[in-house]
């Protein structure tokens, strides 16, 4: 799944059903430019505990999509959590919220798409939900659908695209 461009996928599949393109809201952090894989979803609000729990699990060809409510009041992922994602084989993260420690994350072999960097860490309240349908950036994200992300954008498909 790693030899792709989102532009090329659009040329081939944009006319097919269950193909979605996310609105261009996200910045890229980390040293990798692109990532793809099966989606795991989380819905949290200003809390990183569930994110830490999930990133602690080994992941093969999976990406984590986090609906953080678009909050700009704290960071949901820091360098420690990004390092945990790398150590456990996560392909990439899509965060509808903020990250922090962006200079440290820039050195890690992962790609994280997030709204912005923000220095304040997350609160510890309202644990969150896992593997539920989440919607942001004009896209419905579902567990076990496929996500493709690179410098040009983010694509979600119900089926694998080759």
Residue 116 phi/psi, 5-degree rounding, is -160, 175
pLDDT at site 3: 86
**What does the chain look like in DSSP terms, one character per residue?**
--S--HHHHHHHHTTSTTEEE--S--EEESS-S-EEEEEEEEE-SSB-HHHHHHHTS--SSEEEEEE-TT--SSEEE-HHHHHHHHHTT--EEEEEEEE--HHHHTTSS-EEEEEEE-SSBPBS----EES--EEETTEEE-TT-EEEEETTEEEEESS---
Confidence bin at 2 (pLDDT 50/70/90):
low
User: According to the annotation, is 100 in a ligand binding site?
Assistant: yes
pLDDT of residue 123: 82
Mean pLDDT of 143-157: 98
pLDDT at 125 over 80: no
| Contact of 22 with 139, CB cutoff 8 Å | yes
Average pLDDT over residues 108-124: 95
Percent of the chain, pLDDT > 90? 93
Asked if the model's pLDDT at residue 124 lies above 70, the reply is yes
Q: What is the CATH number of domain 6-157?
A: 3.50.30.40
Which CA distances in Å does 152 have to 61, 142, 148? 21, 22, 10
Averaged pLDDT for residues 89-105: 98
Q: With 60 as the cut, is the pLDDT of residue 1 above it?
A: no
49-63 confidence digits (pLDDT tens) = 999 999 999 999 999
Please check the confidence at residue 26 and state whether its pLDDT lies above 70: yes
pTM of the model: 0.96
């Amino acid at each position: 799944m790693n030899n792709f461009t989102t532009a090329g996928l659009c040329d081939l599949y944009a006319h097919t059903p269950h193909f979605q393109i996310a609105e261009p809201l996200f910045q890229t952090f980390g040293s990798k430019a692109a990532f793809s894989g099966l989606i795991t979803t989380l819905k949290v609000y200003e809390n990183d505990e569930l994110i830490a729990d999930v990133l602690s699990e080994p992941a093969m060809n999976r990406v984590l999509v986090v609906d953080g409510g678009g909050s700009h009041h704290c960071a949901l992922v820091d360098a420690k959590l990004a390092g945990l994602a790398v150590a456990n084989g996560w392909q990439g993260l899509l965060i509808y919220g903020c990250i922090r420690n962006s200079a440290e994350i820039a050195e890690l072999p992962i790609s994280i798409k997030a709204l912005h960097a923000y220095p304040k860490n997350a609160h510890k309240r309202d644990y969150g939900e896992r593997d539920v349908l989440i919607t942001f950036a004009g896209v419905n994200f579902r567990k076990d659908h496929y996500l493709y992300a690179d410098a040009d954008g983010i694509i979600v498909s119900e089926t694998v695209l080759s």
